[in-house]
Structure 1
Amino acid sequence: MATILIIEDNVDVRENTAEILQLANYKVFMAADGKEGVKLAEEVQPDLIVCDLTMPLLDGYGVLHLLSKKKASSPVPFIFLTAKSERSDVRKGMEMGADDYITKPFNPTELLNSIECQLRKAAAIRNSSDKGLAGLNSLLELVSEGDPMQPLKDGRNINRYKKKQCIYQETNHPSHLYYVTKGKVKTYRRNDDGKELITGLYNEGDFLGYGPLLEGGVYPDSAEAMAETELALIPRREFEELTNKNVQVMQRFIRLLSNNIQEKEIQLLNIAYNSLRKKVADSLLAVYKKYNSSGAENFGIDISRENLAAIAGVAKESMIRTLGDFRDEKLIDIRDGIIYLLNIKKLSNMYN
Structure 2
Amino acid sequence: MGKFIWLCQIRSLLFVLFFLSVVDCCLSLSSSSLNPTPSCLPEDTSALLQFKNTMSIDDSAFYSYCYPKTNSWNESTNCCSWEGVTCEKATGQVISLDLSCSKVVGSLAPNTTLFRLRGLKRLDLSLNNFSASPISSGFNQLASLTHLNLSGSYLSGSVPSDISLLSKLISLDLSRNEILELDSHSFDMLTRNLSKIENLLLGWVYMSDVVPTSFMNLTSLKCLSLEFCGLQGDFPSEIFQLGNLEYVELSWNSLTGFLPKSNWSSRLKFFDLSSNYFKGSIPSSLGNLTKITYLGFSSNKLEGQIPDIFGNINKLTTLDFSGCNFS
TM-score, normalised to structure 1, is 0.20
**Which of the pair has the greater relative contact order for Cα pairs under 8 Å at 6+ separation?**
1
Normalising by structure 2, we get a TM-score of 0.21
Structure with greater helix percent? 1
Please identify the structure whose Cα radius of gyration is greater.
2
